[in-house]
Every structure is written in structure tokens, then in C-alpha cells.
A and B are shown apart, each in its own frame.
Chain A
Amino acid sequence: MGAETFWIIVLGCAAATFIWRALGVVVVKRIDSSGAFFQWVTCVSYAMVAGLVFRMIILPESQLAAVSIEIRVASVIIAFAAYFLFRRRLVAGVVAGGVSLSGLVAWLG
């Protein structure tokens, strides 16, 4: 493939993503942000984002797929425990979870 093809791909993907953002703006301009439709869209966005995060952890397509599900779930539990233990400090949860995952992989393989 030539460089032009790669540029077309990058710019095409940027435009194709921007379409969704622009459609969002179009919808925002037309709806009442205290109405039922807005609440429904909000619920859809929460469901989508939560689903994406769930997929990234439980059904990953990244290098995490090579890590066993037991290690991933154990690390999430440790992260949540650290988060609540340290008075809802995000840093505590994230660091505990990341270190646990690396540690468990190094230890159990």
C-alpha cells in the first residue's frame, strides 16, 4: 500500500468517527435536556460505556487476552477493595489493580 492509501484510511476514520459526534450535537440542539428522550439517551450511553469497560476486562481483544480470567477478576476485586479501603481514592484502586495483575502474571505465569 502507498502512503496515500494510509492517509486516506486515517482521514476517513477520523471523518467517520466525527459523524457520530456531529450527530450528537444535532440531537442535543433539538431536544429538551429534561425530557424523557434525553434520559433514555443518557441511559444508553451509560450502558454502552459500561459494556465497553466490561468487554475490555472480561472479553479483551488486547494483549490482556493472554492473561487468565481468574487473574483479571482477582485484580479487579483487589482494585475495588483498595479503592474503598483508601476512602474512594481512584489512584489507590488503579495502582493496586495494575500491580496485582503484573504481580500475579509474573508469579503464576
Chain B
Amino acid sequence: MEKLTTMVTGNNAVMRKAMLDALSLPAFILFFTMMGFGSLARGAGFSAEMSALSSLLIWGLPGQLAMVELTATGQGIIAIVFACSLANARFLPMVVSFVPAMSRGRSGLGGMLLDAQLLSINSWAVCLREFPGIESEFRHRYYLTFASSILLAAVIGTLVGYHGSVLLPAVMMLGLIFISPLFFALVLLGVAGRAERFSMILGCATISIAHTLFPSVDLLIAGIVGGSVGFAVGRSWKSGHGR
């Protein structure tokens, strides 16, 4: 994997790469995924503007789905907001692991909060995969271009799904829903680092059990258990190897 290729550098080159990378798949995936969200939101009683703003401001599908599902079943506001928050709790460790990778050095609080707001699994996974090939001072621009491109696709997809202007056969819709997790799985296959790989395998193993026992906090359990054991294994392997 570690080929000696030329690093991408320069504002225009990096923005072009970000847009092409977004259009190569992620923008389409988000468009179709958010179409599904748009139609569910309509069914639950949300207006088109509310649905589009949910995608723009929440910007985390598991939380958006929790919001729509609990609203449809008539839960109270507090329960809905709490469930959405819990479903999106992954943003805390994701922001922590992602922001330093942009190697921006010192930057203002406002800028960092905007970066954090734009983060999604898609940009997290794609950027961590592409950053090694991008000159460090241009990584932030790559991220902003990529993240805003897919966010735009997601908002458009939400509105298209809401208005139901694209009616696809059910069998085809299933394939389109499936490509979203599939894309993440393929991107994650390329993750380097022993500790990270162990953590991912253990996260998958843990969630199978946690999902049956504690379905509402299964992701938190998978993250903390899988990540801690993966971290410990990675450390002990490293120190053992260094001897």
C-alpha cells in the first residue's frame, strides 16, 4: 500500500480531488440514503424544511432515524432528543481522533467547532484514508470541500426523498440502502495500524452481544470495550515487539 506517489498539493488541485472523490461515490450514497430519511420524515409528520434542516444540522443518520422513528411512535420530546443524542454519541471520539489528523496547528475555537459540525462517518473515513497522500497544509481544505459537497448531496437527497419524485422499485431501493454500510466496510478494510484493526474487530464482536443485552447503548459499549481492549492489545504487542 505504501507506494511512493507524489503528494497532492495546491489549493485548486486539492479542491478538485475533494470534489471528484465526493462524486466518485459518497455524494451518491448520501443522496440515496437521505432519500430514505426524507420519505420516513414525511411519514412521521415533519415538513420538508424540517427534514432538510435535520440533515443539515443533525448531520448524523443514526440520530436522525431515532428522531423520526420515536416521533412516529408518539414519544415525548425529551425521550426523542435523548435517543437522538445517544445514537450520535460517536461524534465525541470521532472528533477527537479526526481533528489532529488535519495537522492544522493552532486554530480558533469557532473554526474547530465548524469542522466538528461538518464531520460525518463518510468524511471521517474517507479523509483518514486520503490524508496520507495530501500535503498536510492542504488537508483542511480537502476536508472542508469534501464534507460540504456530501452535505449538499445529503440535503438535496432529503428533499427529493421527501417529495417522492423518484420512485424506484423496492428491490432496487434495498440495494441502494445496502451500499451505504458496504462503502464504510470497504473503506475500513484499508485502515492501517494494529491497534485500530483489533479495535474494529472487537467492536464488531462486542456489538453483537451488546445489541441483544443493551440495545439503546450498544454502540457506546462496543466502542469502549472494543476500543480499550484493542488499544491494550496494540500497546502490549508494540512493547513486546520492541524488546
Chain A interfacial positions (CB closer than 8 Å to B): 1, 3, 5-25, 27-29, 31, 33, 36, 38-59, 61-64, 66-67, 72, 75-76, 79-80, 83, 88, 90-91, 93-95, 97-99, 101-102, 105-106
Contact = CB atoms under 8 A, between A and B. Distances in A.
B188 A64 contact: no
B167 interface: no
Contacts of A27: 92, 95-96
Nearest to A7: B50
B131 interface: no
B36 to A, nearest CB: 7
10 closest A-B pairs by beta carbon, nearest first, are A24-B95, A47-B203, A47-B226, A44-B227, A48-B223, A102-B175, A51-B222, A16-B85, A50-B200, A33-B100
| Number of chain B interface residues as a range | 35 or more
Nearest to A84: B189
B13 interface: no
A46 B191 contact: yes
Given A45-B96, A63-B174, A13 B63 contact: yes
Interface string B205-239: 01110010000001110111111101100110000
Nearest to A99: B175
A48 B91 CA distance: 10
A49 B186 contact: no
A57 B185 contact: yes
A17 B191 contact: no
Prevailing SS type, chain B contact patch: helix
B131 to A, nearest CB: 14
B7 interface: no
A44 B199 contact: yes
B62 to A, nearest CB: 7
A51 B100 contact: no
A54 B203 CA distance: 9
Given A20-B85, A24-B96, A25-B109, A46 B222 contact: no
B81 A24 contact: no
A68 B102 CA distance: 41
Contact of B219 (A5, A38, A40, A52): A52
21 contacts: A3-B47, A11-B57, A14-B58, A16-B63, A17-B85, A19-B85, A39-B234, A42-B195, A45-B98, A48-B203, A48-B219, A48-B226, A50-B203, A52-B90, A52-B207, A55-B211, A58-B208, A64-B174, A66-B174, A105-B171, A105-B175
